[in-house]
Amino acid sequence: MKHAVKILILVILISACRQMHSDSKIPFAEGREIVTENGMVVSAHPEASRIGISVLQKGGNAVDAAVAVQFALAVCYPEAGNIGGGGFMVLRQSDGSKHVLDFREKAPLAAKRDMYLDEDGNPSGNLSTDTHLASGVPGTVDGVTRIHSLYGRLDFRDVIQPAITLAEKGFPLPEDQAASLNRNRENFISRNRARPAFVKDSLWKGGDILRQPELAKTLKRIRKYGRDGFYSGLTAQLIVNEMQRGNGIITVQDLENYSSVFREPLQAGYRNYSLSTVPPPSGGGIILVQLLGMIESSPVGEWGFHSAKAVHLVAEAERRAFADRARYSGDPDFVRVPVRELTGREYLKSRMSDFNEKRATPSADISAGDPLPAENEQTTHYSVADHHGNAVAVTTTLNNTFGSSIVVEGAGFLLNNEMDDFSIKPGAPNMYGLTGGDANAVEPGKRMLSSMTPVIVEKEGKLFLVAGSPGGSTIPTTVFQVIINVVDYNMKITEAVDAGRFHHQWLPDQISIEANTIDSLTLKKLEKMGHEFRTRSSIGSVNAIQILPDGRMAGGPDKRGFNTACGY
């Protein structure tokens, strides 16, 4: 029955989509396994994917579509889509040049190293997760308005307008999203003075229309004033008012001073491919490059997908990469991160010098360190490609599902709780049980570490793959496995993103694995080698695009979410 309801809701959504875009002269395809010629958008929500593809159809480029998707996700996917959070973008232009934009949140100027500790020096309750103190200075609006001003093609008003319309008119909730809002109902009520749009008198059900008039007004101010429509004026004052109501510390000065940062892409080769991903303050890019470098000399494709030899090698490489990241990762504007040394081929070769083909290496025997802080599963990723050869990979988040669950009164958007991604106290676990070190301690104006790993892959200089995933500390290992699924195991993109996944992050000393991912005989072999396993429901939720040999684009929306590919 539940499955039938999901199918019915999907039919309703597709019908609504066709009606919404009935004025478009160019039809578009939508679904899980689609191949198109002119453009592709793959995101966590069908409404956002449709808006992105409509922008491409109107003559926009991949940047225009990506910005439209970001604003749309803030409306239709409040679990992680946002204007009150941050993220990372990898942009490939049609001439092959690459750019990385870091619009990660920053600690407010009044932040202090021990601000979440009690009198005894221990973490104090849920200050870093459930309160106004949990919010870093948002970076999303600065990032997307900046990237659009430099590389967009359409007028900004035309790019943001679909999200405004979506917020005003509303959209039908998929059954799973209605359930997600219901699960968080008490948090929305208890943490907000005024009842936000996410709460109604009765529980949400699939097909209900979610309208957000206050968010629409905020988006209109951004439409009119650009960046200043968020970081100054009425919206900024509403944010400061909300902070004062809940004893938060973000000020007008924090908002005015925020600036996204262009960083040099982290680039590396793997077999006959080259990839571009994000450098610190995301640790995910380094982990991805290290993993590829540590397995490149091994014929994993010949060993077979999820064979004992391949799983053992990958788990051991993951174990070492996470131990490294703990020691060295931080905001490069505050600490030196030896990226070149950590990703060098000779170093990676030496890192695997104690690898035993027959036995697991206990994590206690791997150099001490602390795993990266992790975003919740409700981080989100979207991928965009246009027919010019431009491509954009964006991973964005509020941290926990719905962030702190605190909505800025009068402005209609959720605040992030990214401050928990700092090391609240060296050695003390964050909300996901992961610990950090001094390099990631709280400091005013500092960006907290991330695991986000958007990536663009090329083959012989031509665009080949655009990908990324949510999933906290599992993000880089998820993206890594999708890449080798395509490159080493010759899977088509839908197979590569749907395939079962596993994850080792050094501590705890175990392999997390999705149910029914590895056959029982192989599991027994790995257990005899010394590996321990913990089964979990899902790992990551990839949204990817693969460019086929004939130049067409294949969408890869992960089956694990309500992900949707749209193309034309």
Identify the residue whose tokens are 């490489």. Answer: 317
Look at residue 5 and tell me whether its pLDDT is greater than 70. no
3-state secondary structure of 91: strand
- Check residue 343 and give its pLDDT: 96
Asked if residue 412 and residue 354 are part of one domain, the reply reads: no
pLDDT at residue 312 tops 70: yes
pLDDT band (50, 70, 90) for residue 375: very low
Which structural domain, as residue segments, surrounds residue 160?
40-87+99-116+128-261+383-440
Residue 557 lies in a domain: no
Element (H, E) at 92: strand 86-92
Q: Look at residue 568 and tell me if it is in a domain.
A: no
Q: Are residues 403 and 281 part of one domain?
A: no
Residue 470: give its domain's CATH number: 1.10.246.130
Place of tokens 């009606």: 19
Mean pLDDT, the chain, integer: 92
Percent of the chain at pLDDT > 90 equals 85
Do 229 and 370 lie in a common domain?
A: no
The predicted pLDDT at position 377 comes to 57
**Which residue, among 89, 90, 124, has the nearest Cα to 104 in the 3D structure?**
89
| Mean pLDDT of the 265-272 span | 98
Residue 507 lies in a domain: yes
Tokens in use for 271? Answer: 């077999």
Looking at residue 14, its pLDDT comes to 43
Please give the Cα distance from 105 to 108 (Å, whole number).
9
Separation of alpha carbons 119 and 142, rounded Å: 37
Before 78, cis peptide (omega within 30)? no
Residue-wise burial string across 322-331, b where 16 or more C-beta atoms lie within 10 A, e elsewhere = bbbbbebbbb
**Residue 432: pLDDT band with limits 50, 70, 90:** very low
Structure tokens at 248: 């938060």
Q: What is the pLDDT of residue 371?
A: 39
**Which strand (E) or helix (H) includes residue 294?**
helix 284-295
Which range is most confident: 93-102, 373-382, 419-428? Answer: 93-102
pLDDT tens string 142-186: 999 999 999 999 999 999 999 999 999 999 999 999 999 999 999
Q: Say yes or no: 344 and 403 in one domain.
A: no
Per residue, what are the HEC states of 430-473? Answer: CCCCCCCCHHHECCCCCECCECCCCEEEEECCEEEEEECCCCHH
Lowest mean pLDDT among 25-34, 58-67, 216-225, 313-322: 25-34
- Do 269 and 343 fall into the same domain? yes
Long-range pairs, 356-360, Cβ under 8 A, ≥24: 357/309, 357/312, 358/529, 359/529, 359/530, 360/312, 360/315, 360/316, 360/526, 360/529, 360/530, 360/531
Q: Are residues 55 and 179 in the same domain?
A: yes
Does 68 share its domain with 190?
A: yes
Q: Which of 379, 380, 477, 494 is catalytic?
A: 379
In a domain, 561, yes or no: no
> In whole angstroms, what separates CA 436 from the centre of its chain?
20
10 Å Cβ neighbour count for 201?
Answer: 5
429 versus 362: the higher-pLDDT residue is: 362
pTM exceeding 0.85: yes
Instruction: Kindly state the average pLDDT of the residues 118-145.
Output: 94
Residue 301 pLDDT > 80:
yes
Count of domains observed in the chain: 2
Q: What is the pLDDT of residue 428?
A: 58
Residues contacting residue 183 through CB under 8 Å, at least 6 positions apart = none
Question: Do 47 and 41 form a contact (C-beta atoms < 8 A)?
Answer: no
Task: Dump pLDDT digits (tens) for 499-515.
Answer: 999 999 998 999 999 99
Confidence of residue 87 (pLDDT cuts 50, 70, 90): very high
Q: Are residues 281 and 137 in the same domain?
A: no
In a domain, 486, yes or no: yes
Judge whether 253 lies within some domain: yes
Of 1 and 102, the structure prediction assigns the larger pLDDT to: 102
Same domain, 323 and 457: yes
In a domain, residue 410? The reply is yes
Q: What is the pLDDT of residue 437?
A: 66
Cis peptide before 281 (omega within 30 of 0): yes
pLDDT on residue 564? 97
282: DSSP letter? B
Mean pLDDT of 513-520: 97
- Backbone φ and ψ for 101, nearest 5 degrees, come out as -110, 120
> Is residue 353 scored above 90 in pLDDT?
yes
Give a yes or no: residue 564 inside a domain. Answer: no
Q: Give which of 398, 409, 443 is closest to 135, Cα–Cα.
A: 398
76 vs 13, which has greater pLDDT? 76
| Total residues found in the chain within this entry | 568
pLDDT surpasses 60 at 478:
yes
**Quick one: 464 and 481 in the same domain?**
yes
Mean pLDDT value across residues 444-469: 97
CA distance 504 to 294: 15
How far, in whole angstroms, is CA 454 from its chain's centroid?
8
* pLDDT tens readout for residues 7-59: 444 444 444 444 344 344 568 999 989 999 999 999 999 999 999 999 999 99
Q: Looking at residues 517-529, what average pLDDT do you find?
A: 98
- Could you give the CA distance from residue 251 to residue 497 in angstroms, rounded to a whole number? 42
Quick one: which H or E segment has residue 93? none
* 271: amino acid identity, one letter: R
pLDDT(368) > 90: no
| 380 a catalytic residue | no
Q: Which residue has the higher pLDDT, 489 or 324?
A: 489
Greatest extent of the chain over all pairs of C-alpha atoms, in Å: 66
Classify the C-alpha dihedral 324-326-332-335 as positive or negative: negative
What region, left, alpha or beta, does residue 45 occupy, with left being phi > 0 and alpha being psi -120 to 50 degrees? beta
> Are residues 340 and 393 both part of a single domain?
no
Mean pLDDT of 413-434: 75
Tokens standing for 217?
């007004």
Residue 426's pLDDT band, with cuts at 50, 70 and 90, is low
CA distance linking residue 87 with residue 284, whole number of Å: 12
Of 22, 53, 17, 20, nearest to 38 (Cα)? Answer: 53
Angle, CA of 21, 65 and 140, to the nearest 5°: 125
Taking the C-alpha atoms of residue 87 and residue 140, their distance in angstroms, rounded to an integer, is: 7
Other Cβ atoms within 10 Å of 311 Cβ, number: 25
> Is 267 found in the same domain as 257?
no
